[in-house]
Structure 1
Amino acid sequence: MAFPLPRGVTASEIAFLAEMETVTVVPRQRLEGLELLGGPVEPLVPPRRASLPLWLALLLKRQRRANIIPPPWLHPEPLDLILEIESGHQDYQNAFSPPPPLPGQPSVFDRDGTPAARPQYTPDGNRYYAAPPFLPQNTAQLTTSDRDPPSLPFHWVEVGNLLLESASDDLVNPDQIRRTLKDLREVRMAKMRSGVDILDAAAIGGGGIALTGVGSMELGEERGFVAGVVDGLRRIGSSKEQARREQMAEQRANGGYDGTQDDDEEEDYMEF
């Protein structure tokens, strides 16, 4: 007998996928390189920075063999700015702050051309475009541009919670970061739950729901709500349509509707 599982990816599965995100560490002792399924890991030589998968960085952190450098967005100032944009900016009252640009794509505030995202190639020569968690969206940057606005990566909820849980001593003011992340989640979840009119239009085929900038965990948590609302609205619309058709059929049977009644009424109204 199969266990009844919820539709879509569960929260634990999303968190597991987020552990493949790449973060920056500072090793505290020398470690040899590793050959992993996701690719080789370079040897760790202190105090040289290195990029490791999040699960491996957390393991070395628990063993006190490395310190994790938080990503640029996981600081009090960028998070406060993102919260201000999400809650007070007029352009984002019903939208979400823009996600990080893809590799080779300019920032949303840059005006120096619009190159497309750069493709990558497999050993067989097949072209593909990398997606989270295989994008360096959570690595520490040595240099940052003032023109680049702070943005939340696709796995921001999972990465933030994991680092707060296991590497809070490596973060700047972790208590404030924890409060700001909580406020951000509440603001963004309220936006997703307030678009009932948009869901109504999407249910009858009149449009779609813009989810640009929404994170992986947010999609997983709201999948049931959004799908349930759209499904319920679709049932309501189909029941109304069925009732209308039954009413028209009854009128035809009683001789009160012959298919040209609407045209005759319109002509009489124009003559009057």
Structure 2
Amino acid sequence: MNPDEVEFIGEKQLISIIPTFNSSTIHLVSGDIGPFRASLPLNVPLWIAINLKQQRKCKIQPPDWMDVTRLEQIKDDEKSSRTFTKMPSEHYMIEAKLLLGYAADDISRADEIRTVIKDIWDIRMSKIRSSVDMLIKNGGSYAAVDNLTLMEINTMRPLLPQAMDQIHRMKKERSHLRPPTQNTTLSLLNSSHTSTSK
């Protein structure tokens, strides 16, 4: 799955908007949306919200988690935890990128939110790199990816084949350096004894 496909999936997230127009229900393959009534909140897929916002036909209501205080708490939890903490949304980075890019005027303290989300992303990326390093050092054959989002997994994918190749090489080298077992030693002694008796 490439980054565009991950973003495409993220754009299907539902988000609340306040339309500035009236319209009948829109029929989509994924389901019906609407009817639209001016000033009445309505949940729509993120891609529709952005499209309407660009046409100045709605005001976007950011998700509850897009709040500086809440995000600072998530950042602190992520810093203090050795494992990955659960994010408030499976597609938090895609939502943040699109909403802060196209609807920053609808989001209170948008610049601060952008900074904290970037900090959270950086902390999690650092953990991913450390996890891959640990995987190589310990010669593991699998890695735990609990609580990673689809975008984070997609970001780490290029690292994994290289890491697994490195682990395979190290295991191969270790098997060549392993000291002989008792059976191997006995076998060598027996063959040596047989050759001297001849």
Per the TM superposition, whether the score is higher than 0.5 is yes
Please give the root-mean-square deviation of Cα atoms over the aligned residues, in Å: 2.4
Q: Are 1:191 and 2:127 matched, yes or no?
A: yes
- Structure 2 residue 94 is the aligned partner of structure 1 residue 158: yes
- What pairs up with 1:35-74 in 2 under 5 angstroms? 35-74=27-66
TM-score after normalising by structure 2: 0.85
Equivalent position SS for 1:40: strand
Tell me by how many angstroms 1:210 deviates. 2.5
Give the equivalent residue in structure 2 for 1:257. Answer: 185
Matches within 5 A, 1:192-271: 192-195=128-131, 196-201=133-138, 203-205=139-141, 208-241=142-175, 243-244=176-177, 257-259=185-187
| 1:86 and 2:74 aligned | no
Matches within 5 A, 1:110-121: none
Relative to structure 1, is the Cα distance of residues 32 and 167 closer, same or farther in structure 2, using a 3 angstrom cutoff? same
Cα separation, 1, equivalents of 2:153 and 2:44: 26
Counterpart Cα distance in 1 of 2:68 and 2:144: 28
- Per-residue CA distance 1:169-216 (angstroms, 9 max, x = gap): 111111101111111111111111112224544x544xx422222122
Q: Give 1 or 2: higher helix fraction.
A: 2
Q: Which has the higher contact order (CA 8 A, sep 6+)?
A: 1
Q: Deviations over 1:193-246 (max 9, x none)?
A: 112224544x544xx4222221221111111113321231122212332x247x
Letter of the structure 2 residue corresponding to residue 54 of structure 1: L
Secondary structure in 1 aligned to 2:48?
helix
CA–CA separation in structure 2 for the residues paired with 1:212 and 1:74: 22
Q: TM-score if structure 1 supplies the norm length? A: 0.63
Cα distance in 2 between the residues matched to 1:85 and 1:49: 32
Task: Indicate how the Cα distance of structure 1 residues 162 and 259 shifts in structure 2: closer, same or farther if over 3 A, else same.
Answer: farther
* Residue 152 to residue 260, structure 1, CA distance change in 2 (3 Å): farther
Structure 1 position 65, deviation (Å): 0.6
The one-letter amino acid of 1:35's match is H
Match of 2:109 in 1: 173
Give the number of equivalent residue pairs.
187
Q: Which runs of 5+ in 1 are unaligned?
A: 1-8, 99-150, 262-272
One-letter amino acid of the counterpart of residue 159, structure 1: E
Gaps of 5+ in 2: 190-198
What's the counterpart of residue 127 of structure 1?
none
Matched residue type, 1:258:
L
Check conservation: 1:204, 1:234, Cα contact below 8 A. Answer: no
Separation in structure 2 between the aligned mates of residue 46 and residue 20 of structure 1, nearest angstrom? 23
Q: In the TM superposition, what is the alpha-carbon distance from 1:158 to its structure 2 partner?
A: 0.8
